Every structure is written in C-alpha cells, then in structure tokens.
Amino acid sequence: MEPDWTPVQAIAAKLLENGDRLADDLLARQHRTVPGLDGSLGPDDTRAHARWLIRAYLRGVSERRSPTAEQIARCEAYGELRAKHGIAVSAVVQGYHDAHRELWQRLICDMVARPGVEPALLASTFGHALQWLNCTVEAMSRGFQSQAADNRSARERATHQLVMLLESGETSSDRVRSVAAGLGFDPDGSFVAVHGHPPAGPAGGPDACPLPGTRLLQSADVTAALGAPAPAERWGIGAERSGLSGARRSIADAKLAHAALPDRGGRLDFTDSWSVCLPQAHREAIDPLVDAARELARARPHLLEAVVAFADARFSVSPAARVLMIHPNTLSYRLDQWHRLTGMDPRSVSGLAQSLYLAR
C-alpha cells in the first residue's frame, strides 16, 4: 500500500513556484564546477532545457509517474544537441546527476522537517526520483551516442576525402584547404599521417578482419591518438612534415612503414626506420631478386635469426650468440651458411641490408 503522498505533492508544488530560479542557480553552479559542461551551445537553449527538466521532474515525482514518451524523446534530442556541439557526455551526465542530488536534498529536507512523515514515504519518494534520473540520463545518453556516431561517420568520410585529394596531388586548391580546415586542421601547419589498424576483434565479429585506414594528426601525440601499444596492431607512422604537400608525403611515409612491418605487427615510425621502409616502394622490382633467399629463410629460419641478432648486436658475434643462447662458433657458422646459400654476406654493408629486407 502506497503511503500518503500529500506531503510530497505539497513540497513539489512549493519548489515549482520558484522552479525557473532554481534551474538557473543550478545551471550557473554547474558551469563553474563541472569541467567541459559550458560549451558552444547557446545559453538560451541550455537554460530552457534545465528549466523544463526541473519542472518535469518535480511534476513527475509529485504525480508518481515515469517520464512520458514525449519527455524521453526531448531528453534524447537534448543529448543529440550536446553531441553536435562537442560537449563530453560525461559532463552532461554529471550535470543531470548534480541536479537530481540537489532536488532530492531539497525534497528530503522538507519532508524530514514535517512531523509524522513515515519512513515508507521517504523510500517510495526516493524510488520515484531515482526512476526519473535513470530514465532521463539513459535517454540523453542514447541521443548523444547516436549523434556522436553520426559525427564520427561524417568525420571519417571527410578525412577519407582529404586523403584522396592529397594522394591525387591536389595540395594547394581552395577545395582541399577548405576540407582540411573543416576537419579542424591548420592547412599550413605540420602533419603526421598514420596508416594501419588496431588489433582484430573477436572471430566472427565486425572487427575480426579490420582493413587498414589512413588518419592525419596535427598538434597531437601519436601515442595519445593511437592509444597504448597492443598486440597484433599494425600501424605505420609517417614523418612530421609541413603543409598539405607535407601531409601528402607523410601519407606515403606511413604506407611504406606499414608495408615494412613484420608479420607480428606493431608500430613502425618512418622517421626512425626510413632505411627499412624505402625499399617497400620498389618491392615489385626487388622481390623477384630475393625470392630464393626468402624461401630459404622460411625453411631455415634460424639462419636469418642469426643475421638479425648479429645486426642488433652491432655486428658483434659474442653478444648476438648470448641473445640466441648459442655458442659464438655456432653463430659464426650460421652467418657463413647464410652467405653461402643466399650469396648475401651479412658481414658486409650491402649484404646485411639485403638480408634485413627479408626480415621484414
């Protein structure tokens, strides 16, 4: 049996008398205390929604009912509007929670001050208030996420257009500068391109076989943009270059670095590894010349492992042997075998460079 709801109705009616002022005070406080909440959305739109939400909340609790379909739709539309203006969903959710806490405190303080209020009334009031909070926050979040997905899709399309224009050689036209500026880039600033994909998702899922894509970064740390390194990711990172013509060159860098990645994946920065990356631009000419050596490396991988260890140890046999946990004489024998079977002398600059090409 529901407790007598008269005290709740009386308190809600009293708060409604000053509902607009209460909403304005709450909003002003949130803009001072909630990071990221005060964005580019006009103050009239924000104030109108806050005032409406306070009135709807108090009336809903007073009438012991859930939000209507129209009220849910209005919260979804507000979430979409916030996403369009680039305001973080966490800031909006915190704003909703803060408003709920303030209203609940005012309700509970007035109720406790009234003589003879039953504990069941407090519990029931809290249940209705919490239901309103959950329903409105979920609706706002749905609208926000839907619009955010549209924003990402639109940005991805615009980024793809910019990359295609740059790769076609269009680096100075008004069109390409407009597309770059529309994405928030300074056309005359420095660019870094990345090409590749994150780790594959679960088998059978939409991300099980991700396709490589190209992204452009500006005034951003690559690690921050890509996240922490993860197993099985594949990212080629271009050199930082100036202007849109530099962005075009960085895209080519990133794709060469991506092509030079080892089978295990990882990240390869063109700036640090250009000597390894550049041969990828001529694979059609180089690969037929090293097919036999590549087959040997697949059949006898320990020989190429010895060459790589020798290079990593700065051409010193003993440290390389320690890494592979073999005797130095064994390492020397494997280097000799590689030379004899492939014609590539790992102890010479050219032979070592040719051998390391096969290690990628």
- Look at residue 59 in the predicted model and tell me its pLDDT: 93
Please give the Cα distance from 250 to 240 (Å, whole number): 7
- Look at residue 217 in the predicted model and tell me its pLDDT: 94
Q: Does residue 39 have a pLDDT over 50?
A: no
- Look at residue 194 in the predicted model and tell me its pLDDT: 95
| Residues paired with 290 in a beta bridge | none
Q: Are 8 and 107 in contact (CB under 8 A)?
A: yes
Element (H, E) at 316: none
- Look at residue 191 in the predicted model and tell me its pLDDT: 95
The answer to which of 146-155, 290-299, 329-338 has the lowest mean pLDDT is 146-155
- Look at residue 116 in the predicted model and tell me its pLDDT: 78
Cβ atoms within 10 Å of 82's Cβ, excluding its own: 26
* End-to-end Cα spacing for the chain: 74
- Look at residue 360 in the predicted model and tell me its pLDDT: 67
Q: Does residue 37 have a pLDDT over 80?
A: no
Q: Are 226 and 196 in contact (CB under 8 A)?
A: no
- Look at residue 38 in the predicted model and tell me its pLDDT: 57
- pLDDT tens for each residue of 168-190: 999 999 999 999 999 999 999 99
Q: Are 154 and 86 in contact (CB under 8 A)?
A: no
Domains of the chain: 6-150 (1.10.490.10), 174-280 (no CATH), 300-358 (1.10.10.2840)
Mean pLDDT of 76-87: 85
- Look at residue 41 in the predicted model and tell me its pLDDT: 43
Backbone angles phi, psi at 110, to 5 degrees: -70, -35
Q: Are 103 and 54 in contact (CB under 8 A)?
A: yes
Mean pLDDT of 54-66: 91
Mean pLDDT of 194-202: 83
- Look at residue 322 in the predicted model and tell me its pLDDT: 94
The confidence band for 329, taking pLDDT boundaries of 50, 70 and 90, is: very high
Helical segments of 227-316, H only: 243-259, 270-277, 283-299, 301-312
Q: Are 200 and 208 in contact (CB under 8 A)?
A: yes
Please give the Cα distance from 189 to 169 (Å, whole number): 18
In percent, the amount of the chain with pLDDT more than 90 equals 44
The answer to which of 22-36, 122-136, 225-239, 337-351 has the lowest mean pLDDT is 22-36
- Look at residue 40 in the predicted model and tell me its pLDDT: 44
Strands (E) across the chain are located at 190-197, 213-217, 234-237, 241-242, 266-269
Q: Does residue 73 have a pLDDT over 90?
A: yes
CA nearest neighbour of 293 among 252, 339, 325: 339
